[in-house]
């Protein structure tokens, strides 16, 4: 893999992937919408070409790029339970795959989500039933099924990665880890559930390296992407508190939710096919984030 197209390159995981690709000498065509507020994230990155092209215009990509080896599609937008905003991503993704085909790319790689599985209380591997319970999860799954058919029709291999809980510098401010950082740094007690549900956190650099390897080694099919070791969520919260601000009191159970999501993930497939292993455990990841804030 010498060249790649990347959508979502100014987003959280997309930006980590961009840095990983460039680090491995892959030239990247980065698509951004005009007047993007996050375009500054691309400043001073060598080995890229920025193309102002929103997803609503993705069919015009062949006017700007003649050829690429791999197409990474990470762009996705819309409120989690807003079907109207979620469903348009399916059309964008279909158009992206068709544009990729015109560029003669060898592989189309797209990120799915843990939300495709819905609420599970057992370990999930790639053969586990898919039963989404949100607009986001339902539309991701619908997109996967549609692209799988299209990929067969146009003979463009599809790689679909169901991403579980990824954290790191530049994370979305609405995630649990970002919320905990704000609370601990301001000496506030966070509002928490009982924290007994099993969880799995993967550091963003490890996730980005796996995505890079999928393109570099031309691995197709569907994959789960997570750390692969589940623990009660409260253990992660306590570890983060101890590393960020051990003086903050914790009171589990202040926040009550009706149906608790759990993450018990089997990642044997991606480990075996890529020879990939996560190398940054949760504590090291939190310390890296702390050092950047």
Looking at residue 122, which CATH number applies to its domain?
3.40.50.720
Specify whether 123 is located in the same domain as 177.
no
Is residue 123 in some structural domain? yes
pLDDT of residue 38: 87
Q: What is the pLDDT of residues 86-144, one digit of tens each?
A: 999 999 999 999 999 999 999 999 999 999 999 998 999 999 999 999 999 999 999 99
235 and 92 in a common domain: no
Residues 91 and 174 in one domain: no
pLDDT for residue 197 is more than 60? yes
- Same domain, yes or no: 97 and 233: no
Q: Tell how far CA 162 is from the center of its chain.
A: 8
Could you count the other beta carbons within 10 Å of the beta carbon of residue 180? 21
Per DSSP (E only), the strands in 142-286 are 158-163, 165-167, 198-199, 201-203, 221-225, 231-232
pLDDT 10s digits, 152-194: 999 999 999 999 999 999 999 999 999 999 999 999 999 998 9
> For 63, which DSSP code?
G
Burial of residue 121 (number of CB atoms within 10 Å: 0-12, 13-18, 19+): exposed
In a domain, 269, yes or no: no
Per-residue b/e over 139-151, b at no fewer than 16 CB within 10 Å? bbbbbbeebeebb
What is the number of structural domains in the chain?
A: 2
**pLDDT score at 256:** 61
Segment 17-21 shows an average pLDDT of 98
pLDDT at 231 over 60: yes
In this structure, the answer to whether residues 87 and 193 fall within a common structural domain is no
Structural domain containing residue 215: 3-165+201-225
More confident residue, 253 or 142: 142
Number of residues in the chain: 293
Q: 236: domain CATH number?
A: 3.90.25
d(C-alpha 73, C-alpha 105), whole Å: 13
- Collapse the DSSP code of 4 into the 3-class scheme (helix H, G, I; strand E, B; otherwise coil) and give the result: strand
Does residue 80 sit in the same domain as residue 152? yes
Quickly state the pLDDT bin for 258 (edges 50, 70, 90). Answer: low
Distances (CA, A) of 104 to 52, 79, 127, 251: 21, 33, 31, 55
9 and 40 inside one domain: yes
């Amino acid at each position: 893999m010498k060249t790649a197209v990347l959508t979502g390159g100014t987003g959280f995981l997309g930006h980590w992937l961009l840095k990983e690709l460039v680090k491995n000498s892959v030239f990247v065509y980065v698509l951004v919408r005009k007047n993007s507020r996050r375009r500054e994230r691309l400043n001073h990155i060598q080995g890229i070409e920025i193309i102002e092209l929103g997803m609503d215009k993705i069919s015009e990509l062949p006017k700007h790029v003649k050829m690429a080896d791999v197409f990474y599609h990470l762009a996705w937008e819309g409120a989690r339970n807003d079907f109207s905003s979620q469903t348009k991503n399916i059309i964008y993704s279909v158009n992206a795959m068709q544009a990729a085909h015109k560029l003669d790319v060898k592989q189309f790689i797209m990120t799915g989500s843990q939300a495709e599985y819905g609420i599970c209380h057992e370990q999930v591997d790639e053969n586990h039933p898919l039963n989404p319970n949100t607009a986001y999860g339902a539309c991701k799954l619908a997109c996967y099924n549609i692209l799988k058919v299209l990929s067969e029709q146009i003979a463009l291999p599809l790689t679909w990665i169901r991403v579980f809980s990824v954290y790191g510098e530049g994370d979305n401010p609405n995630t649990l880890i970002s919320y905990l950082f704000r609370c601990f740094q301001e000496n506030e007690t966070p509002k928490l559930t009982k924290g007994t549900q099993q969880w799995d956190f993967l550091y963003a650099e490890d996730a980005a390296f796996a995505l890079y390897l999928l393109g570099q080694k031309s691995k197709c099919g569907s994959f789960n992407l997570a750390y692969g070791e589940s623990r009660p969520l409260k253990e992660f919260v306590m570890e983060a508190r101890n590393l960020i601000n051990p003086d903050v009191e914790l009171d589990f159970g202040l926040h009550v939710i009706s149906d608790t999501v759990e993450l018990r993930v089997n990642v044997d497939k991606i480990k075996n096919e890529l020879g990939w292993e996560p190398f940054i455990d949760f504590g090291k990841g939190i310390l890296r984030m702390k050092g950047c804030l």
